[in-house]
Homo-oligomer: A and B are copies of this chain.
């Protein structure tokens, strides 16, 4: 299958209307590309410590169970890479420190047949992060590398379509609850996230300190939190505010 034909099959994702259909399409492409397993995970920020996670399964169940039980997502180097980048990565290219938690996760994965692979990060406008991974149970590095290398462009293309399909099926794109915050609330929050105190913000926005507290309080109520810190974490994760404190 050349890339042009491949491109045509991608249109099927736009028509898919259920998880099962998407799973089947992924499975098809997985085999087609010469991989053994696949998984797509979508993280949707909700509360700070309560992101919603949607998974399209094509991985060994035992591994997924173990993964969640032990909270491996926190040390998974693939997730760490994907949350910062926009181009795909071959697992072999990840920089791992010996006997780090990250290395442990990857080694255990290998025991479940996930020895080599490739992952494509997808970031969408509201901070959702989708990761499409294809894995290979292949001992020989060179062979694995060749397959991954060859699959790279296909995986990159697939990523976007799987991502849009999953978001559509689960009704993720929801512009309504994107900005529950008023203009002033966003402004105040942004400056607060920038380390400014109420008084400083009042000077910046030419308001009274009381008004700044008023807006920040309203923001906290809307975000259902009771401290500024929580409000900021939540707003940043949801993309409600984008401070630039660098």
Contacts and interface: CB of A to CB of B under 8 A. Distances in A.
A157 B153 contact: yes
Interface in A200-242: 225-230, 232-234, 236-237, 239, 241-242
A86 interface: yes
Interface string A148-164: 01101100110011011
A195 B157 contact: no
B153 A246 contact: no
Interface string A99-138: 0000000000000000000000011111101000000000
A194 B126 contact: no
Contact of A49 (B3, B149, B243): B243
Interface residues of A, number: 72
A45 interface: yes
A23 to B, nearest CB: 19
B195 A84 contact: no
A243 B239 contact: no
A14 to B, nearest CB: 9
Given A49-B194, A236-B233, A43 B246 contact: yes
Interface string A70-108: 000110000110011111100000000000000000000
Given A50-B245, A80-B239, A244-B49, A86 B124 contact: yes
Contact of A48 (B156, B157, B186, B237): B186
Contacts of A225: 195, 245
Given A153-B153, A193-B230, 16 more contacts: A41-B246, A45-B242, A49-B190, A53-B246, A79-B242, A86-B122, A86-B163, A153-B157, A156-B157, A156-B160, A157-B157, A195-B230, A197-B227, A232-B232, A233-B236, A233-B245
8 contacts: A41-B246, A50-B243, A84-B175, A123-B123, A125-B127, A127-B127, A127-B239, A156-B157
A244 B50 contact: yes
Contacts of A125: 83-84, 123, 127, 129
B85 A190 contact: no
A193 B4 contact: no
A211 to B, nearest CB: 17
A155 to B, nearest CB: 10
